[in-house]
Amino acid sequence: MTRNRCRRCPGWIANPILAAAAAIVACSAGASASVLVKYPFNNNNDGSNGFAYTTFDSSVLSNASVTAGSGLGQYSVGTDSWSGTTQVLKTGPGSSIADADANDAVSNSWYVEFTLTANSSMDIRSIELDWSRGGTTGTRGWFVRSSLDGYTSDLYSNQTPAGTSEGLQHAAFDIGGHTGLSGFVDFRLYIYTSSFGRYMDFQNVQFNSTALAVPGGGIAALGGLAGVGRRRRRS
């Protein structure tokens, strides 16, 4: 993180009670996580064009990679109109579909794929990332699925309506069933927007070997916007 404030503490939530509760959950969650791999998605002049990871646990992982789905039209690290000098991974669909939704994202391969390969055995218990819309036009969304069930159910999903404000927001969520894994597992970060040239932006994508503990023994599942981030199964 480059800012002094805790980016996991979402001061953008308008309701002060929700903001306080979310800040406790998010900040305590991040502090306890053991990072397996983290992609900051910024151009650090290392020859990777911004796609290198900065954290890698070689005691657990033998390899980690990130690639674009065949349907993405935008997949690059750079600045967006809202971000000024802040660099992000800009993603966008390769075609325009009116009122695009999650089904369109799946059928058109609008995703970024992360592949984590174990040395012998690995536990992947939680995922964190920063995200933003690349503008306020149209409904936009993103969701995460894994190869363990053939990409059929959401580990987490988020949809925002037209007019949603810009700026990086943090999401942190636990994932079940991704423990004691050998070989590799793929995670797909699907995106959808209403038109080619409209983006979903990401930064600081990380996979953790620990669950996101909440004071009192709960489990964290913090979305970017109160009442918008949600976990559910899609058919």
pLDDT tens per residue across span 100-125:
999 999 999 999 999 999 999 999 99
Quickly state the pLDDT bin for 28 (edges 50, 70, 90).
Answer: very low
User: Percent of the chain having pLDDT more than 90?
Assistant: 64
Q: Is the pLDDT of residue 220 over 60?
A: no
End-to-end alpha carbon distance in the chain: 36
Query: Cβ distance 170 to 5 under 8 Å?
Result: no
And the tokens for 180? 């004691």
Quick one: tokens of 202? Answer: 């990401």
What does the pLDDT average to over 194-220? 80
Please report which confidence band the pLDDT of residue 32 belongs to, taking 50, 70 and 90 as the band edges: low
93: part of which helix (H) or strand (E)?
strand 87-93
- Tell me phi and psi for residue 185, to 5 degrees: -140, 140
Q: Which helix (H) or strand (E) holds 28?
A: helix 16-32
Q: What is the rounded average pLDDT for all residues in the chain? A: 82
Q: What digits encode the pLDDT tens for the residues 156-202?
A: 999 999 999 888 999 999 999 999 999 999 999 999 998 878 999 99
Identify whether the C-beta of residue 34 lies closer than 8 Å to the C-beta of residue 48. no
Q: What is the pLDDT at residue 173?
A: 98
Does the pLDDT value for residue 2 go beyond 50?
A: no
Q: Report helix, strand or coil for 22.
A: helix
Q: Which of 31-35, 164-168, 211-215 has the highest mean pLDDT?
A: 164-168
Give me the CATH code for the 16-222 domain, please: 2.60.120
Which pLDDT does position 214 carry in this prediction?
59
- CB–CB of 88/79 below 8 Å? yes
What pLDDT is stored for residue 135 in this prediction?
87
Number of residues assigned to the chain: 235
CB-based burial label for 171 (10 Å; 0-12, 13-18, 19+): buried
Structural contact between residues 12 and 48, judged by C-beta atoms closer than 8 angstroms: no
Give the per-residue pLDDT at 4.
35
* Residue ranges of domains in the chain: 16-222
pLDDT at 5: 36
Nearest to 33 by CA among 103, 161, 125: 125
pLDDT at 8 over 80: no
Tokens of 218: 């709960």
User: In angstroms, what CA-CA distances link 72 with 104, 113, 146?
Assistant: 12, 11, 18
Tell me how far CA of residue 145 lies from CA of 19, 104, 156, in angstroms. Answer: 28, 15, 8
